[in-house]
């Protein structure tokens, strides 16, 4: 398993163990040739994953996310692989996105994930491996520490551990938020339904909500205000993103913990804010 010590990886490790699997972390860099221990299957989570950073310096994203995936694939033979991709590979649409929706990555990060998806799919179609790609939408909750993400930043602002947050545009842009626990459950389902010679893709989403919805929910859950600086919208910003998860639901998966209130509440509890009233409302 790559990326086992990351935010999503830790949740996936716990969920795999609950279901009787024994994860074996890979402790080498993706840029190095892989020497795999004996494993029945591989979960590939490791990646460079900050969207805005990828615009500033895209080359390391290609090195890690594309070349690194290629290095991993070279080491695999006759094993199932579950690969973590992103909902950012899709062309923006006002309708819910299905796995058949057109791919049109809007960032270097998403472009590297789309390229890696293709590598994985072609390797599976050749019969070399089995592959399941999970397109994760906005993963949140459960102790995320990446304050570049909207829910994490808003909760940290309410806790007083960061000075505030910037919102680009009017706050009405909609994203699909999914609890990290539901993401972990999706990896278990995907792993248990993946076999050599097959290639499948599944969306992993939960609750569509606007940035203003997030801010209101954070204030309601925490009883504290969020200090917001409003900025002009980025050119080409995606206004609406929602996942159709019916394909994954057909395997028995459900986003059981992905209401906005539960995501925010779990993030707030995990953030362990200092006692006191915090910023005034």
Average pLDDT over residues 218-246: 92
Average pLDDT over residues 79-91: 97
pLDDT at position 274 is: 52
Query: Higher-confidence residue: 52 or 54?
Result: 54
Domain with 74 in it: 7-271
**280 falls within a domain:** no
pLDDT at position 147 is: 94
Residue 159's φ and ψ, nearest 5 degrees, are: -75, -15
**36 falls within a domain:** yes
- Determine the Cα–Cα distance for residues 139 and 175; give it in Å rounded to an integer: 10
- Determine the Cα–Cα distance for residues 25 and 244; give it in Å rounded to an integer: 31
Query: Higher-confidence residue: 50 or 279?
Result: 50
The total of structural domains in the chain comes to 1
Whichever domain contains 264, its CATH number is 3.40.50.720
**1 falls within a domain:** no
Q: Cβ atoms within 10 A of the Cβ of 73, count? A: 23
pLDDT at position 37 is: 84
What is the distance, to the nearest Å, from the Cα of residue 234 to the centroid of all Cα atoms in its chain?
22
- Determine the Cα–Cα distance for residues 214 and 210; give it in Å rounded to an integer: 6
- Give me the active site residues, please: 109
- Determine the Cα–Cα distance for residues 178 and 161; give it in Å rounded to an integer: 24
Q: How many helices (H) and strands (E) does the chain have?
A: 10, 9
How much is the pTM?
Answer: 0.94
Please name the residues in contact with 175: beta carbons below 8 A apart, sequence gap of 6 or more.
137, 138, 150, 208, 209, 210, 211, 241
pLDDT at position 275 is: 47
């Amino acid at each position: 398993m790559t990326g086992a010590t990351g935010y999503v990886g830790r949740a996936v490790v716990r969920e795999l163990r609950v279901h009787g699997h024994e994860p074996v972390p890979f402790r080498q860099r993706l840029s190095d040739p892989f020497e795999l221990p004996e494993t029945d299957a591989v979960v590939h989570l490791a990646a460079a994953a900050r969207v805005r950073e990828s615009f500033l310096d895209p080359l390391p994203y290609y090195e890690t996310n594309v070349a690194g995936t290629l290095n991993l694939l070279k080491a695999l033979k006759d094993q199932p692989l579950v690969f973590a991709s992103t909902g950012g590979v899709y062309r923006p649409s006002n309708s819910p996105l299905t796995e058949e929706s057109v791919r049109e990555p809007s960032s270097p990060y998403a472009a590297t994930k789309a390229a890696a998806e293709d590598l994985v799919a072609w390797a599976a179609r050749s019969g070399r491996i089995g592959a399941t790609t999970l397109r994760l939408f906005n993963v949140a909750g459960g102790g995320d520490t990446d304050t570049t993400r909207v829910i994490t930043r808003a909760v940290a602002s309410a806790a007083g551990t960061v000075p505030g947050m910037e919102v680009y545009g009017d706050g009405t842009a909609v994203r699909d938020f999914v609890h990290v626990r539901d993401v972990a459950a999706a990896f278990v389902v995907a792993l248990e339904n993946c076999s050599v010679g097959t290639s499948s893709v599944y969306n992993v989403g939960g609750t569509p909500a606007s940035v203003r919805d997030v801010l209101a929910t954070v204030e309601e859950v925490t009883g504290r205000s969020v200090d917001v600086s409003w900025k002009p919208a980025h050119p080409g910003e995606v206004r609406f993103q929602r996942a159709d998860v019916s394909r994954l639901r057909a395997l028995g998966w459900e986003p059981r913990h992905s209401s906005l209130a539960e995501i925010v509440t779990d993030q707030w509890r995990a953030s362990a804010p200092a006692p006191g009233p915090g910023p005034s409302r």
